Amino acid sequence: MAVVEVKNLTKTYGSRPDRGGRGRAAGSVRAIDGIDLATEEGEYLVLLGPSGCGKTTLLRTVAGLETPTSGDVLIDGHVVTGLPPRARQVAMVFQSYALYPHKSVYGNIVFPLRASRMSRPDRDRRAHWAAGLLEIEHLMARKPRQLSGGERQRVALARALVREPHVFLLDEPLSNLDAKLRATARDELKRFQAEIGTTTIYVTHDQVEAMGLGDRIAVLSHGRVRQVGPPVEVYDHPADTFVATFIGSPPMNLVPRDGVLVGFRPEHLLPAAASEPDALPVRLAVDRVEYLSGDRHVYGTALGVGEQTRVVARLPATVTSPVTAGDEQEFAVSRDRLRFFAASSGARMDRVPL
Amino acid sequence: MTTATTGQPATVGRPPTTMDNAAPRQRLADRDSALAWIFLMPSVVYIVALVAVPFVLAIGFALSDVTAGDPSFDWVGTRNFRRAFDDPVFWRSLGNTFVFTAVSMVLIVVLGKVLANILMAKVRGKWVIRFLVLLPWTTPVSLSAIAWLWMLDSIFSPIDWLLREMGLLGSPGALFGPNSNMYWLGEPDLAMASVIAVHVWRLTPLAAVIMMAGLVAIPRDLDEAARVDGAGYWRRMFEITVPLVLPLAAVAALFGAIFTFTDMAVVDVLTNGGPNNATQTLTSWAFFRGIDGGDIGQGAAVALFLFPLLLAAAVAILRAVRRMEVR
Amino acid sequence: MSALTPPLPGVAEAARLRRTYAARHVASRVGTYTAAILAAFLCAAPFLWSMVTAFKQNRDLYNPANNPLTFSRPATPDHVTYLFTDTSFLTFAWNTLWVGVLVVAITLLLGLPAAYALARLDRPWAGWFGVAIFLVYLVPPSLLFLSLSRIVVAFGLQDSTWSLVLIYPTITIPVSIWLLIGFLKGVPRDIEEQAMVDGHSRLGAFWRAVVPLAFPGVVAVVVFAFTLTASEFIYALSFVSPTADKVISTGVPTELVRGDVFFWQSLQAATVLVAVPIAIVFNLFLDRFIAGFTQGAVKG
């Protein structure tokens, strides 16, 4: 168990002249652009962001697979920048699981122990402990190619776990599973981490995973951290319009009005009849209604709040008022559900009277 | 649909398509089974005519008394084989072929792996290094063998000169003896070593290229996972890279075996089988008997001996590859 | 539980480790460069030597006391010009070139469709056929040349360079089919299916969609086949004896080695002149060749 901290970390690709050869030196890419971030003891921190936002690079820098251009990585208070992965006592689960295809499940699990020169009886004991924890003891003699996706994921976890590392690094470990399996695997991952209590950094682009798993979520975009906080906070109080629209499905509605963006979640835009009396009235020209597993998604144009903007409303099954496409209907949003962002920078700002 | 029947194609506004006029009948070019045969036939016919027929003919030669002077077939049964078995040179060639192939194959595969790693490394001037390293393989073998003939000359060998300069040769008590020259191709054991060395020199680049293919195919994730798991360079090399590259190493070994087994240019140019048949292989012996000696039947009998050996080696290697295939 | 995991290095320890790893990194770079240069030197040594030798005077060359690495007497281009003026070197080179080009063309003409049939047309016997074709590659020239020389005579091609055009594809076709299967399997199936949906026949899809995409692989096969052809020795030696019809691999040794007399400088010059262009071309396509081998060999 340990705290991982990165200080003012940057990573630039393609600027060094010895890579890439002729002609490509000019275009350098800044994958990580000055990130400060620290986990707490035993925390489950999720790095969330769209592809290319630098989240995997950040994880690999913590693992020691990438050398940062500047800044430091600290594990448990010790600066480990410049040390190779094996001096860092971290374990990583790759997106592909990276199981050694020529080794049996047992061979895969004991590999880190053999690398740390543990005696044979000890490593046998540890391997069976880890396998038992993940309920894969019956698979010990198999080769990775004889396993299902879910079993492979468990083997990869067992291999990461067996050494009892200071930190777990997980790089989208669920993205290779089918949707059904993913839900159960997510649940298991969470319970498992709670049991072991090891600090975990988890990279994903899937907000559902992030919300479900993380003690805290760090939202990344273009190599910068946009917001760090518990799922509820990130969802309810997004730091800027990027976070507001990246998280939530459908995303937060943003209506421009006098240099301010007025934001509200689709589930808070309800028919006036179902709203509180002092709620902000929104006139909605309804285009289309979708029925999605009990909920109704209402697509339309918001009138009267600010500029005319396309918005979405999500009506839970408990709201039964009729909504018809083609009509103009009265909707409303609770005033305490409104969020405000500066139109110029996108940053959150104080409440504006409407 | 209606274009043809209405008689007013212009108003319909849709150009006639093949569907409309060519009917649902499948054309030849669409029938996979027919196409497969048409595509394969030329190669098959060619190979049957110029490999299978000569192969059978060679068996016929081996069982007859054909010579360069008397090209008529006369059945002699196994006489050519019995004559070959009675000839000590045959057994010597057979033994040499085994030594030659086995030693070269091991060296080619091991050095090929090392060379592949070197060629994959990130270094400046990689292109120049690859170019120089590939020279031995891309040069016609008869020419590179001649270049080596000069290197190993009994009087003017530059290697000998270097050894003399370093004091390792040509003075009393020197490491390689008091003679002024090594006579690389004149001493039986040295000659065999020289032939093998030249062969390994020539084929290692090919093996390296084949194994580079294997190295390129290993997912980067695996190496990185091993690094995070705490494995050092040598452990990653011997526990991850080498096992994963083994199937292609076997392919490289197979190519090495084929080229070694069937090639006689190196022997022919360097030693002509000598001294005293010390470097005679089955291939070169068959050539000397069949073409130089004109005894075609005998030559064919000796050459025929190559095929089952090569077949056995190939089957063994290919089966090993199948078993090793992990993905 | 932390009893198991060694503690992370402290500040002093980390600094020491960092120095160790930095030193190790430098050492590995030095080692890599040393190995690369050594490998290049070992492989190229005879050619480097040849380049010196080719310009030596006879009196310089044939004196065992002289340094073979440098010129003890002024360099002379005589032996190199001799190669061009007094031998048929250019004829040999030309013969090698056109034989190679024709052989490669025949190889592709026969091999490409055959490889496609085995790679894509999903015949149940395709696997067996592939193995059988590879086994053909195992039949050594040294076994066939005796009977092939009869067949060459039957075609009336004895002592003609055309005999090589006829026979060489027996070497190149099997190995090319084997490599091409790999390249063709690497072309996504979707693409030819798209072409077929767009109205091409299977044949049309092969020709318009698959071949262009496999083109890099085809180029690699061309280079490999050409190298094999240029290197071939036994057939060229047994089928063709007139000087004007010889190719480089047999012409140079026979023309410049007269009995016991070796025209060493000219031989060395010829070796370098032939080796360098082929190696350059091969090197240009090396990466494609490697890619083809990966697909072809492992998936068999």
Q: Whole-number mean pLDDT of chain B? A: 79
Distance from CA of A100 to the nearest CA of B (A): 7
Other C-beta atoms closer than 10 Å to the C-beta of B87 total 15
Query: Which of A163, A224, A223, A157 is CA-nearest to residue A191?
Result: A157
Contact A78 C5 (CB under 8 A): no
The answer to whether residue A268 sits within a structural domain is yes
The answer to whether residue A321 sits within a structural domain is yes
pLDDT, position A232: 93
Q: Cis peptide before A173, with omega less than 30 degrees from 0?
A: no
A301: left (phi over 0), alpha (psi -120 to 50) or beta: beta
Residue in chain A closest to C20 (alpha carbons) equals A83
Instruction: Quote the domain boundaries for residue B244.
Output: 88-324
Nearest to A165 among C5, C17, C22 (CB): C5
Instruction: Quote the domain boundaries for residue A319.
Output: 255-342
Contact A89 C6 (CB under 8 A): yes
Given CA atoms C249, C255, C256, C261 in this order, what sign does their dihedral have? positive
| Amino acid, single-letter form, for residue A163 | R
The answer to whether residue A310 sits within a structural domain is yes
pLDDT, position C72: 74
Dihedral over alpha carbons C41, C46, C51, C53 (to 10 degrees): 130
Q: Same structural domain for residues A278 and A210?
A: no
The answer to whether residue B146 sits within a structural domain is yes
The answer to whether residue B4 sits within a structural domain is no
Distance from CA of A341 to the nearest CA of B (A): 42
- Looking at chain A, the whole-number percentage of residues with pLDDT higher than 90 is 40
What would the mean pLDDT of A81-86 be, rounded to a whole number? 85
Contact B212 C123 (CB under 8 A): no
Q: Give contacts of A166 with chain C, Cβ < 8 Å.
A: 5, 8
Nearest to C14 among A83, A89, A126 (CB): A83
Domain CATH code at residue A68? 3.40.50.300
3-state SS track over A212-275: HHCCEEEEEECCEEEEEECHHHHHHCCCEHHHHHHCCCCCCEEEEECCEEEEECHHHEEEHHHC
d(CA C147, CA B291): 11
Number of domains forming the structure of chain A: 2
Subunit partners of chain A (3 or more CB pairs within 8 A)? B, C
Q: How confident is the model at residue B139 (pLDDT cuts 50, 70, 90)?
A: confident
Contact B222 A100 (CB under 8 A): yes
Q: Give the DSSP letter string of C84-139.
A: HHTS-HHHHHHHHHHHHHHHHHHHHHHHHHHHHHHHHS--TTHHHHHHHHHHHTTS
What would the mean pLDDT of C58-83 be, rounded to a whole number? 77
Q: How far is residue B54 from each of residues B315, C39, C107, C167, C236, measured CA to CA in Å?
A: 22, 41, 19, 11, 17
pLDDT, position C153: 85
Residue B9 above 70 pLDDT? no
Q: Same structural domain for residues A276 and A226?
A: no
Residue B326 above 60 pLDDT? no
Q: Residue B101, SS3?
A: helix
Q: What is the DSSP letter of A54?
A: S
Domain CATH code at residue B261? 1.10.3720.10
Q: Where are the alpha helices (DSSP H) in chain C?
A: 11-53, 58-61, 78-85, 89-120, 126-136, 141-154, 162-167, 169-186, 189-197, 202-205, 211-213, 215-231, 234-239, 248-256, 264-284, 286-299
Q: Same structural domain for residues A197 and A322?
A: no
d(CA A32, CA A68): 9
Domains and CATH numbers, chain C: 11-78 (no CATH), 87-299 (1.10.3720.10)
The answer to whether residue B75 sits within a structural domain is no
Which tokens in the block code for residue A72?
Answer: 């430091």
Contact C8 A2 (CB under 8 A): yes
Q: What is the DSSP letter of B169?
A: S
pLDDT, position B325: 59
Angle between helices B296-304 and C141-154 (to 10 degrees): 140
d(CA B154, CA C110): 47
3-state SS track over C204-233: HHHHHHHHHHCHHHHHHHHHHHHHHHHHCC
Which tokens in the block code for residue A118?
Answer: 């543990």
d(CA A208, CA A247): 9
The answer to whether residue B8 sits within a structural domain is no
Q: Same structural domain for residues A176 and A27?
A: yes
The answer to whether residue B262 sits within a structural domain is yes
d(CA C275, CA C231): 10
Nearest to C17 among A1, A87, A164 (CB): A87
Q: Same structural domain for residues A92 and A122?
A: yes
Q: Residue C241, SS3?
A: coil
Which tokens in the block code for residue B125?
Answer: 């001037």
Q: Same structural domain for residues A18 and A105?
A: yes
Q: Give φ, ψ of A48 to 5 degrees.
A: -120, 140
What would the mean pLDDT of B278-304 be, rounded to a whole number? 80
pLDDT, position A99: 92
Contact B22/A at CB under 8 A: no
Contact C8 A80 (CB under 8 A): yes
pLDDT, position A237: 93
The answer to whether residue A246 sits within a structural domain is no
pLDDT, position C297: 43
The answer to whether residue A244 sits within a structural domain is no
Q: List CB contacts of A75: < 8 A, sequence separation 6 or more.
A: A2, A3, A4, A5, A62, A88, A89, A90, A166, A167, C8
Residue A17 above 60 pLDDT? no
Is residue A298 a contact partner of residue A284, using CB atoms and an 8 Å limit? yes
Is residue C281 a contact partner of residue B203, using CB atoms and an 8 Å limit? no
Contact B227 A85 (CB under 8 A): yes
Contact C162/B at CB under 8 A: no
Tens-place pLDDT, residues B189-214: 888 888 899 989 998 998 898 888 88
Contact A80 C22 (CB under 8 A): no
Domain C-terminal end among A236, A271, A305: A236
Kindly list the strands in the beta sheet with A309-315, ordered across the sheet, starting from the edge strand earlier in the chain: A269-271, A328-333, A280-292, A295-303, A309-315
d(CA A346, CA A244): 10
The answer to whether residue B154 sits within a structural domain is yes
Give A 37-96 residues with CB within 8 A of chain C. Answer: 75-76, 78-80, 82-84, 87-89
Is residue C275 a contact partner of residue C51, using CB atoms and an 8 Å limit? no
pLDDT, position B1: 38
d(CA B116, CA B121): 9
Q: Same structural domain for residues A206 and A292?
A: no
pLDDT, position A61: 92
Q: Which helix (H) or strand (E) holds A203?
A: strand A199-204
Distance from CA of C114 to the nearest CA of B (A): 4
Contact B221/A at CB under 8 A: yes
Query: Which of C178, C228, C187, C242 is CA-nearest to residue C209?
Result: C187
Contact A98 B124 (CB under 8 A): no
The answer to whether residue B67 sits within a structural domain is no
d(CA B43, CA C177): 9
Residue B13 above 70 pLDDT? no
Q: How confident is the model at residue C102 (pLDDT cuts 50, 70, 90)?
A: very high
d(CA A229, CA C74): 81
What would the mean pLDDT of B63-89 be, rounded to a whole number? 78
The answer to whether residue B199 sits within a structural domain is yes
Number of domains forming the structure of chain B: 1
Q: Which of B170-179, B231-240, C197-206 has the highest mean pLDDT?
A: B231-240
pLDDT, position B33: 77
Kindly list the strands in the beta sheet with A339-342, ordered across the sheet, starting from the edge strand earlier in the chain: A253-257, A260-264, A339-342
Q: Give the DSSP letter string of A120-155.
A: HHHHHHHHHHHHHHTT-GGGTTS-GGGS-HHHHHHH
Residue A26 above 80 pLDDT? no
Q: Whole-number mean pLDDT of chain A? A: 87
Is residue A267 a contact partner of residue A333, using CB atoms and an 8 Å limit? no
Minimum mean pLDDT range among A193-207, A247-261, B78-92: B78-92
Domain CATH code at residue A275? 2.40.50.140
Place of tokens 């020709």: C207
Q: Same structural domain for residues A193 and A260?
A: no
Distance from CA of C226 to the nearest CA of A (A): 30
Nearest to B209 among C177, C257, C289 (CB): C289
Domain C-terminal end among A208, A236, A264: A236
